[in-house]
Chain A
Amino acid sequence: MKSGRVARATLVPAIAVVLASAVPACQGQISDPGGWGGVRQELLAPPRTNFEQVADAMQPHCGTLDCHGQVGRNMRLYGGRGLRLAPGTNPLDGDTTPAEYDATFWSVVGLEPETMTAVLEDKGANPERLSLIRKARGHERHKGGTLMNMGDPLDQCLTSWLSGAVLAAPCQVAAMYAAPGMVAAP
């Protein structure tokens, strides 16, 4: 998939479905039910190209089975040693598959599509507008605690992706997350 602007045909209907499903729960709170002007007509997504490096970096920090490697999560991360996508597979069954990278990509991109668009329009500036970054930095309540500080390899990896060009080196360092004094298996 090409990076950059995502076709309206892909994301706008998906968001419409989500919003429509939320209407019954919000009845009585919507002052202007016809006012859908808040929904953007075009949404942006970070590059899918090289997202594998970002997903591999996130996997040991965020995607373990006791955290976001669970089907009940909004941000649902798939991958080797974590949640698997295909029935009949399990976490021990080898590396992350292309389909799992895709699923993880859409899960992360779809968390806050409007805010994601705003961040991307600003070329990744002020990424803390995204809960993805706030929670990982520990600046918003997060059961998993603080996973990265500003400038850490994982932080560099994620924010570089949001700015449009994935920095491979910090992503690789973050992906090799291992016990102190140990070297992670590739």
Chain B
Amino acid sequence: MDRLRLIPPALVLACLSACAPAVLAPVDPEHEAAVEALGPEDPTIPVGPLHRAGQPCMLCHDLGEDAAPFNIAGTIYRDNLSKTPLTDADVLFVDSASNQFTAHTNCAGNFYIGLESFEPVWPFWVTIRQGANDSAMGSPVHRERSCAACHFNPAGPQTAGQVFLTSDDFVLPMIPVRPCRPDEGKI
């Protein structure tokens, strides 16, 4: 009899505990769908600085997400047609308050700026540089923290395509490419 009396409160508690996560951290279905659309990890690339090249990093690396939070992140390719990463390049930021910051691409072409490193005064402007070659983005960035949110393939009316250094066939052979070292990609 006593056990029967305990069942209703126990059910209420069970329901509350089941609902609490949804109440405390409401699910954004649009965000969930966007993350789902990224697909699974490439099993040949360890989760870390080299993974998910070309994807909108901030979907998972924004504040409040499970992954380490970044302020700005993206992937840069050597040219507009291939998936050859632009390695060891400088990504120069100048914001509207004249603050400057330089990030660097790794062997996957990825770069990321941690929360403590640089928070721009919006908008900001970006230039890519590797050796003697550079390319400045034609417009300022006003809101977006993931390069790939605006730069995705194929290029079309709504996007210029992936971020790249050059489309000049004369310049391309002069841009060095290197494979990842064994020690790269460690978290």
Residues of chain A having any CB pair with chain B under 8 Å:
59-60, 64-67, 69-71, 81-92, 143-145, 177-182, 185
Question: What 0/1 readout, one digit per residue, does chain B (72-89) give for beta carbons within 8 Å of chain A?
Answer: 000000000000000000
> Is B139 touching A180 in the complex (CB atoms < 8 A)?
no
Most buried by A among B140, B142, B144: B142
> Is A181 touching B98 in the complex (CB atoms < 8 A)?
yes
- Is B150's beta carbon under 8 Å from chain A? yes
Point out the residue from B95, B96, B141, B157 that lies within 8 Å of A64, measured CB to CB: B141
CB distance from B164 to the nearest CB of A (A): 10
Chain B residue nearest to A63 (CB atoms) is B139
Chain A residue nearest to B138 (CB atoms) is A81
> Which residues of chain B are near A84, meaning CB under 8 Å?
156-158
> Is A66 touching B144 in the complex (CB atoms < 8 A)?
yes
> Is B156 touching A64 in the complex (CB atoms < 8 A)?
no
> Is A85 touching B140 in the complex (CB atoms < 8 A)?
no
> Which residues of chain B are near A145, meaning CB under 8 Å?
122, 142
> Which residues of chain A are near B98, meaning CB under 8 Å?
180-181
9 A-B pairs within 8 Å (CB atoms) are namely A60-B139, A64-B139, A64-B142, A65-B139, A70-B158, A90-B155, A177-B140, A180-B94, A182-B125
In the complex, A82 Cα to B139 Cα: how many Å? Answer: 8
Chain B residue nearest to A80 (CB atoms) is B138
> Which residues of chain A are near B124, meaning CB under 8 Å?
179
Evaluate whether A91 and B159 lie within 8 angstroms (CB atoms) in the complex, with A180-B94, A182-B125 already known. Answer: yes
Chain B residue nearest to A92 (CB atoms) is B160
5 A-B pairs with the lowest CB-CB distances in the bound complex, closest first: A66-B144, A179-B125, A84-B157, A90-B155, A179-B94
> Is A71 touching B158 in the complex (CB atoms < 8 A)?
yes
In the complex, A71 Cα to B95 Cα: how many Å? Answer: 27
In the complex, A144 Cα to B123 Cα: how many Å? Answer: 9
- Is B69's beta carbon under 8 Å from chain A? no
- Is B5's beta carbon under 8 Å from chain A? no
> Which residues of chain A are near B143, meaning CB under 8 Å?
66-67, 143-144
In the complex, A20 Cα to B42 Cα: how many Å? Answer: 50
Evaluate whether A90 and B161 lie within 8 angstroms (CB atoms) in the complex, with A64-B141, A66-B142, A144-B143 already known. Answer: yes
In the complex, A41 Cα to B121 Cα: how many Å? Answer: 45
> Which residues of chain A are near B149, meaning CB under 8 Å?
66
Residues 105-125 (chain B) with a chain A CB within 8 angstroms? 122-125
Question: What 0/1 readout, one digit per residue, does chain B (133-170) give for beta carbons within 8 Å of chain A?
Answer: 00000111111100001100001111111000000000
Chain B residue nearest to A65 (CB atoms) is B150
CB distance from B144 to the nearest CB of A (A): 4
In the complex, A65 Cα to B97 Cα: how many Å? Answer: 22
> Is A86 touching B139 in the complex (CB atoms < 8 A)?
no
Point out the residue from B122, B140, B159, B161 that lies within 8 Å of A60, measured CB to CB: B140
Known: A66-B149, A179-B96, A179-B124. 4 other contacts (CB 8 A): A65-B158, A81-B139, A143-B143, A178-B125
> Is B159 touching A86 in the complex (CB atoms < 8 A)?
no
> Is B142 touching A67 in the complex (CB atoms < 8 A)?
yes
In the complex, A85 Cα to B158 Cα: how many Å? Answer: 9
> Which residues of chain B are near A81, meaning CB under 8 Å?
138-139
> Which residues of chain B are near A90, meaning CB under 8 Å?
155-157, 159-161
> Which residues of chain A are near B123, meaning CB under 8 Å?
64
> Which residues of chain B are near A66, meaning CB under 8 Å?
141-144, 149-150
In the complex, A57 Cα to B160 Cα: how many Å? Answer: 21
> Which residues of chain A are near B160, meaning CB under 8 Å?
65, 90-92
